[in-house]
């Protein structure tokens, strides 16, 4: 299925009256010349929302939920330049871990910073009603960059707009990301060392992993090889759920709750027989010591560091990741190849791979505002500044002044290699800026030469492109663009918490404990998950999905 055809479907959905996408697009236009000062606005101007005429910088507070790799945002020169252009002084609070566990107490207290970055969800606006400012009127008055964004990409406005026509969090559009997130990698040098071919089925993979464990393929005389590794939860973009495609189950974006669509029906893989088979296969591998024993509990930083090996000695044989350099670093990445999708077995007729274009390129709830913010005009103009054409690419790739992007002086730009040659481009991006966690609008016609990592990403993932050519809309679950009433949002969230308590504990126990009889436990497990609220959640999501499909024409 082509991106444009899916986008047309999303656009049709965006025109639903319930999404209230009307916006005064004539009130401003985005800059194309990169003049941050002119597009961000003068936050000190007088206005209806508490403008300051003193000429002094407006003090704002902000909280960012950032990646663990991201440096102190106060060290980002591009960000300081934006604050200066907007005439604001921002006091930043930075959270790098466990934000989902920390935010309930803060939100319940009613005391939040003026601006929150990548720190809210749709359910927060319902659960903490009145805590967040409706940005829609402010965007119409003070945000020309966002107005242009919504004019160019109506589906982005639909993504940000509640069923009641309010906007509590602004979206992002990255434009240049590929069709899928995770690439399957295998160490070709290890395959050569054990005289084996790239596996095409699960049985072949098992035999390869056994050889990786027993035959010292890295040649250092130590039994330090990790035949297979994955990251964290079953639902991770680099987790065991990627094996579901081997069974013919079509994932659509990184969906941590397990929902997918098949022939127009919303289903959940946690109660699907194919999920059971993946768990059984993983349990078999685990029991033989073929999977990293820390795979279930390790964080992303550990997952990344282990794969980068010991000097020039690789330690991991088979795994998933974003891009070779990002996954394996600069010393051992040339040992690996991207691997085509496998079949579950020789009789498998259909294989799939996760289709992630919309999840990778669009995102919601990037910048939100406290309803108690004393200077909403200044805060809105500052938020809008992130959506300037030149600022946006710095949000994603790092600053021009920081040495991350070259301004060629002719309206074209280029992402520069990392200043530290020991760091790969992907890690450098996450270290240098908000990266994917930020809000930005990367224009489709932006003349930006991507870094070597993103060029490599598209080449590495091309092996999966044939699996995306004929996707049916009835087999793509558009979780990112689905909207629900306040009551349904509450119901979904409460039910999901109960569901997750069961699924998270069960899959990990099944995989890591070979004494567990998955077949014997299956029926009772499925009944418990359905009774915990999955039956009701499937009904709610099915109704929303049918509305979505009906509006595709």
CATH number at residue 84: 3.40.190.10
pLDDT per residue as tens digits for the range 188-239: 999 999 999 999 999 999 999 999 999 999 999 999 999 999 997 898 889 9
- Domain span at residue 246 reads 183-354
Indicate the helix (H) or strand (E) that contains 365.
strand 362-369
Say if residue 290 is in the same domain as residue 164: no
Q: Whole-angstrom Cα distance, residue 8 to residue 155?
A: 9
Is residue 369 within 8 A of residue 131, CB to CB? The reply is no
- Only one residue has tokens 């992303």, namely 300
Report yes or no on 444 lying in a domain.
yes
Per-residue pLDDT at 7:
42
Q: Is 550 part of a structural domain of the chain?
A: no
Question: Alpha carbon of 144 to those of 30, 31, 238, 385, 386: distances in Å?
Answer: 6, 9, 38, 9, 11
Q: How far apart are CA 177 and CA 524, in angstroms?
A: 41
As a whole number of angstroms, the distance between CA 144 and CA 30 comes to 6
Residues 191 and 336 grouped into a single domain:
yes
Q: CA-to-CA distance for 158 and 167, rounded, in angstroms?
A: 9
Identify which of 242, 228, 236 has the alpha carbon closest to the alpha carbon of residue 293: 228
Q: Where does the pLDDT of residue 24 fall: very low under 50, low under 70, confident under 90, or very high at 90 and above?
A: very low
- pLDDT, residue 357, reads 86
143/120 Cα distance (integer angstroms) = 21
Taking CA atoms, 376 is separated from 136, 308, 379, 391, in Å, by 12, 46, 5, 21
174/309 same-domain check: no
Q: Are strands 405-407 and 362-369 parallel, antiparallel or unpaired?
A: unpaired
Helix, strand or coil, per DSSP, at residue 115: strand
Name residue 117's beta-bridge partners: 64, 367
**Over residues 316-340, mean pLDDT:** 95
Of 138, 92, 131, 120, which Cα lies nearest the Cα of 380? 138
| Whether residue 40 has pLDDT greater than 70 | no
Cα–Cα dist 146/158, whole Å:
13
Q: Do residues 275 and 290 both lie within one domain?
A: yes
Largest CA-CA distance found in the chain, in angstroms, rounded: 75
13: in domain = yes
pLDDT confidence of residue 486 = 81
49: tokens are 């929302």
The fraction of the chain above a pLDDT of 70, given in percent, is 90
Q: Is the Cα dihedral 253, 460, 240, 117 positive or negative?
A: negative
Q: Is the pTM value of this prediction over 0.85?
A: no
User: What is the structure's pLDDT at 475?
Assistant: 93
163 with 82, same domain: the answer is yes
Residues 524-536 have a mean pLDDT of: 98
Q: State the Cα–Cα distance between residues 289 and 227, nearest whole angstrom.
A: 8
Whether 328 and 213 map to the same domain: the answer is: yes
What are the E-state strand segments in 432-537? 448-449
Residue 149 resides in a domain: yes
C-beta separation of 505 from 266 below 8 A: no
Of 553, 307, 256, nearest in space to 427 by CA: 307
Residues 6 or more apart from 405 whose CB is under 8 A from it?
393, 394, 397, 398, 399, 413, 414, 415, 416, 448
Backbone region of residue 62 per phi and psi (left: phi > 0; alpha: psi in -120 to 50; beta: other values)? beta
Q: Are residues 161 and 205 in the same domain?
A: no
Q: Could you report the per-residue pLDDT of 155-198, keeping only the tens digit for each?
A: 899 889 988 899 999 999 999 999 999 999 999 999 999 999 99
Whether residue 86 lies inside any domain: the answer is: yes
pLDDT band at 481 (very low <50, low <70, confident <90, very high): confident
Asked whether residue 319 falls in the same domain as residue 384, the answer is no
**Cα–Cα distances in Å, from 501 out to 295, 495, 530?**
19, 10, 13
The model's confidence at residue 76, banded by pLDDT at 50, 70 and 90, is very high
CB 134 within 8 A of CB 168: yes
**How large a percentage of the chain has pLDDT more than 90?**
77
Token readout for 459 is 């080449």
pLDDT confidence tier of residue 482, bands split at 50, 70 and 90: confident
Question: 545 lies in a domain?
Answer: no
| Residue 318 half-sphere exposure toward CB, CA atoms < 13 A | 27
Determine the Cα–Cα distance for residues 199 and 214; give it in Å rounded to an integer: 17
pLDDT at residue 370, rounded to an integer: 98
324-332 vs 425-432: helix axis angle to the nearest 10? 120
Domain boundary pick from 326, 354, 382: 354
Do 418 and 350 reside in the same domain of the chain?
no
Same domain, 187 and 256: yes
If we measure between CA atoms, which residue out of 364, 363, 367, 434 comes closest to residue 135? 367
Same domain, 297 and 397: no
Task: Look at the alpha carbons of 92, 93, 95, 99 in this order and tell me if their dihedral is positive or negative.
Answer: negative
Based on the domain organization, do 8 and 140 belong to the same domain? yes
Give the per-residue pLDDT at 46: 34
Question: Of the candidates 354, 370, 397, which is a domain's last residue?
Answer: 354
pLDDT at 256 over 50: yes
Residue 499 lies in a domain: no
Number of structural domains (the chain) is 2
Say how far apart CA 503 and CA 431 lie, in whole Å: 33
| DSSP β-bridge partners for residue 186 | 318, 337
Please state the φ and ψ torsions of residue 136, each to the nearest 5 degrees: -55, -50
Pairing of strands 336-338, 183-187: antiparallel
Q: HEC profile for 398-423?
A: CCCCCCCEEECCCCCEEECCCCCCCC
What is the overall mean pLDDT for the chain?
A: 89
Residue 440 resides in a domain? yes
Query: Among residues 416, 450, 484, which one ends one of the domains?
Result: 450
Backbone φ and ψ for 283, nearest 5 degrees, come out as: -60, -40
Confidence class for position 553, pLDDT limits 50, 70, 90: low
């Amino acid at each position: 299925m082509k991106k444009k055809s899916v986008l047309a479907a999303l656009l049709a959905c965006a025109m639903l009256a319930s999404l209230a996408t009307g916006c005064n697009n004539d009130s401003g236009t985005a800059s194309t010349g990169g003049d941050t000062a002119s597009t961000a606005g003068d936050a000190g101007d007088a206005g209806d929302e508490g403008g300051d005429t003193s000429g002094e910088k407006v003090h704002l507070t902000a909280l960012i939920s950032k990646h663990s790799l991201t440096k102190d945002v106060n060290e980002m020169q591009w960000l300081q330049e934006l604050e200066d252009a907007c005439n604001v002084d921002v006091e930043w609070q930075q959270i790098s871990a466990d934000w989902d566990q920390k935010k309930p107490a803060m939100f319940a207290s009613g005391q939040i910073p003026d601006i929150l970055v990548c720190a809210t969800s749709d359910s927060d606006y319902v659960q903490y009603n009145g805590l967040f400012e409706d940005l829609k009127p402010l965007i119409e008055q003070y945000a020309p960059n966002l107005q242009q964004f919504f004019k160019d990409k109506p589906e982005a406005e639909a993504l940000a707009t509640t069923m009641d026509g309010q906007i509590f969090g602004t979206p992002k559009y990255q434009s240049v990301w590929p069709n899928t997130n995770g690439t399957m990698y295998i160490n070709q040098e290890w395959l050569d060392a054990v005289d084996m071919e790239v596996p095409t089925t699960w049985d072949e993979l098992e035999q390869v992993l056994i050889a990786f464990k027993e035959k010292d393929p890295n040649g250092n005389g130590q039994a330090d090889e990790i035949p297979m590794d994955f990251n964290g939860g079953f639902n991770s973009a680099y987790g065991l759920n990627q094996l579901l495609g081997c069974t013919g189950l079509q994932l659509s974006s990184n969906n941590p709750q397990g929902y997918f669509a098949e022939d127009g029906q919303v289903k959940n893989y946690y109660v699907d027989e194919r999920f059971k088979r993946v768990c059984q296969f993983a349990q078999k591998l685990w029991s033989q010591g073929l999977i990293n024993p820390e795979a279930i509990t390790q964080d992303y930083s550990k997952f990344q560091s282990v794969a980068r090996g010991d000097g020039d000695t690789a330690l991991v044989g088979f795994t998933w990741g974003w891009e070779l350099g990002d996954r394996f670093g600069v010393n051992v990445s040339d040992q690996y190849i991207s691997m085509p999708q496998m079949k579950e077995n020789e009789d498998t007729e259909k294989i799939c791979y996760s289709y992630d274009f919309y999840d990778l390129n669009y995102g919601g709830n990037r910048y939100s505002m406290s309803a108690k913010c004393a200077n909403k005009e200044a805060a809105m103009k500052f938020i809008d500044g992130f959506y300037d054409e030149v600022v946006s690419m710095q949000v994603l790739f790092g600053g021009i002044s920081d040495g991350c992007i070259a301004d060629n002086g002719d309206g074209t730009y280029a992402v520069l290699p990392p200043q530290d040659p020991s760091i790969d481009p992907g890690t450098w991006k996450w270290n240098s800026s908000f990266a994917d966690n930020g809000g930005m609008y990367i224009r489709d016609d932006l003349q930006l030469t991507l870094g070597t990592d993103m060029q490599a990403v598209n080449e590495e993932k091309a092996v999966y492109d044939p699996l995306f050519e004929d996707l049916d809309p009835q087999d793509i679950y558009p979780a990112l663009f689905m909207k629900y009433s306040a009551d349904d949002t509450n119901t979904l969230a409460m039910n999901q918490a109960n569901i997750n308590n069961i699924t998270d504990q069960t899959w990990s126990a099944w995989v890591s404990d070979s004494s567990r009889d998955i077949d014997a436990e299956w029926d009772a497990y499925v009944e418990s998950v359905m009774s915990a609220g999955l039956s009701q959640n499937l009904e709610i999501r099915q109704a929303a999905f049918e509305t979505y499909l009906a509006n595709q024409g």
